[in-house]
Amino acid sequence: MNPFSSYNSKKYKAEGRGRPSMDWEEGAFDNGEDNADDYYEGHSNSHRYWIISLFTVTVFFFLFARIFFLQVIKTSYYKVLAEGNHIRSQAILAPRGIIYDSQDEALVQNIPNFELDLSKIDLPKDYTTEVQNLSSLFKVDPSVIENAIKAVPTNTYQEYTVIPSLDKNAVVVFESKINDFPGFSVENDPVRQYVDPDIFAHPIGYTGKINADELLKNPDYLLNDYIGKSGLESSYEKYLRGTNGQHQTEVDASGNMQADLGDVQPQPGNNLYLNIDAGLQRFLYQDIIAKNGNKKAAAVAVDPRTGQILALVSVPGFNSNLFSAGISQQDYSKLANDPAQPLFNRVISGIYPPGSTIKPVVASAALQENVISPTAKIDDNGDLVVGAFHFHGWKAGGLGMMDMRTAIAMSSDIYFYTVGGGQTKLGIAGLGITKIAKYYALFGMGQKLGIDVPGESAGLIGSPEERAQRLSDPAAQKWYLGDTYHESIGQGDMEVTPLQDAMWIATVANGGTLYQPYVVDKVVGQNGNVILQNKPTVIRSGFIDPKNIAVVQEGMRQTVTSGTATALKSLPVTSAGKTGTAQFDSAVPGSTHAWFVAYAPYENPQIVIDVLIEAGGEGNAAAEPVVKDALNWWAQNRYLKNTKAGETPVENSPVKNN
């Protein structure tokens, strides 16, 4: 690739007038008078001679010292400077590394793109006509070109991108009239082309031209460089970015090209290999839309054995290709002002009340703290009365006698009010808000889990301390028993991301280990060498006794066999799950988010799939069908095929996160 297919240099001209100077001796003697007396003439001339002699010696001394300094001491510096004045080096932008999914499918490629670049040092003093002609040729407002010219420092040889994407027909016209546009050139640089951009936009992200703020943070970048703006393109920028090449030319004192000195070829960036399964990602995205229309939604799939992210879906997506070659202001405004917020990554940045998907965590904590035994029964009559207050369950009339397993399977609110906040008449003290907050944190809530996609939210665990910090009104700071009840069933002050929801269910599925989630499996150089190998990282483990986790697992299995998610019984693989319906607007009782999360196979969990449909209604009606379909796809296309072929064990061994 030769970025100098259309190269121009400024022709420098200089003119000036000589200014005659009078010799100092003439100035000294012209004003003398012929009739001066001998005394004055003798003494005055002698005195003047010594002054002049001393001045002359001093001047010559300083001239000699300056010449010595320039010719001897600074010779290397000025040699390099002289070389720079006649050797012009301009960058050839390097292609970025390719991003592959877990099945080695390329999710991005580099394609050629014509852009109009400016070499300001070669621009004539009067460029008004140029700007008008370029504006007409490339159909842009003249202010676009004028603002670009003003933005570039005067004393740089670097090229600056004026128009990031050009029509090929206009490029042909430009090249035919190249001499009319000194200081401007058309370059052919590689830009990103994303496969199924709407589906993969949020995990992969996009690139764009570097801006002024980014240049300050990355001084080794060029004025016309590209940089990762979001997603993995941003967080793995140092690996994906290649090494720019150079095209060198020899120019004369006026900046005119004298010789082409050849190219130093650019080196492409390193390649990323993801844990994301593109097939599963596509299926989840398309199935969410097919079943829920234009509702906002999120889905995440994770391997509970490692923390590897197998899918990360945020709906709606957006066309990330719009950003690659420079998005128009009109297109950006349309995306930024869309009420559906397509640029927002709901999986890692969205925070929501989790509803009943929190109950496996409360159950684990209650068993660990000996609040209740697995077989102790609580009568769910649909209404827990505390003084003058009524706390209702989701089913009018109640669910009947519940033990730990059936309470999880049937999602009994009355049971979890009791084990969370207590019930005096039954002699159950409950966990209390302090212990609830403690275990929520142990399972990964209220903190960033460290996923390698930027933009993760920490969420919120409600507690008296947190409320006191957040609210200034003493009356609003007060914590009530009802607040504890609400938080015991995933309502109230608490807010979590879909990623956190999936990771605490993964912790239950794998027997009590919370892993750090990660999207990238490895980074591989162009020579095939593995530069970075990400491995499973344990955030914490051992905080729940395995026998207690086993009870919770059995309750989630009963959710499928006899509880609120029996539709999953028809899957070709065993599974366990949990429904969730979370109210998000107290002024509108029917406004609820729909959650469903499940893992499979039940006996040896290898995948957790978590789906949230914003304002989707009941979890088992809106989210559960998507999870069921996705698990079926995974079982048919991955699990059963791998089992027949002889499944290989997980190669990466966990490492402790200190």
φ, ψ dihedrals at 226, nearest 5°: -100, 155
Looking at 6, 185, 235, 356, which residue is catalytic?
A: 356
CA dihedral 278, 633, 451, 98 (to 10 degrees): -10
Residue 647 in tokens: 């499944």
Residue 392 main-chain phi, psi, to 5 deg: -90, 150
HEC string of 15-79 equals CCCCCCCCCHHHHHHCCCCCCCCHHHHHHHHHHHHHHHHHHHHHHHHHHHHHHHHHHHHCHHHHH
Are the C-beta atoms of residues 430 and 419 closer than 8 Å to each other? yes
Which single residue is written with the structure tokens 């051992």? 542
Could you give the C-alpha distances from 217 to 211, 312, 504, 535, 658, in angstroms and in order? 10, 29, 36, 29, 29
Question: Tokens 């050009």 label which residue?
Answer: 166
Q: Buried b / exposed e across 307-335, counting CB within 10 Å, b at 16+?
A: bbbbbbbbbbbbbbbbbbbbbeeeeeeeb
Of 616, 607, 582, 612, nearest to 596 (Cα)? 612
Tell me if 553 sits within 8 A of 261, measured CB to CB.
no
**Element (DSSP H or E) covering residue 175:** helix 168-176
* 106 secondary structure, DSSP code: B
Distance in angstroms (rounded) separating the CA atoms of residues 210 and 182: 25
The C-alpha atoms of residue 384 and residue 414 are separated, in whole angstroms, by: 6
Joined together, the tokens standing for residue 457 give: 């939210």
State the DSSP H helix or E strand holding residue 540, giving kind and residue range, or none if neither.
strand 537-541
Q: What is d(CA 595, CA 611) in angstroms, rounded to the nearest whole number?
A: 6
Query: What residue spans of 264-403 are helical by DSSP H?
Result: 278-292, 321-324, 329-336, 359-368
Strand partners, 267: 243
User: Buried b / exposed e across 105-118, counting CB within 10 Å, b at 16+?
Assistant: eebbebeebbbbbb
Question: How many CB atoms are closer than 10 A to CB 126?
Answer: 7
**CA–CA dist 281, 101 (Å, integer):** 10
Taking 3-state DSSP, the helix, strand and coil percentages for the chain, each rounded to the nearest 5, stand at 40, 20, 40
Q: What span, in angstroms and rounded, lies between the C-alpha atoms of 580 and 592?
A: 10
CA distance 212 to 203: 25
6 part of the active site: no
Cα distances from 486 to residues 358, 405, 417, 418, in angstroms, run 11, 21, 7, 11
Q: Which residues are identified as catalytic?
A: 356
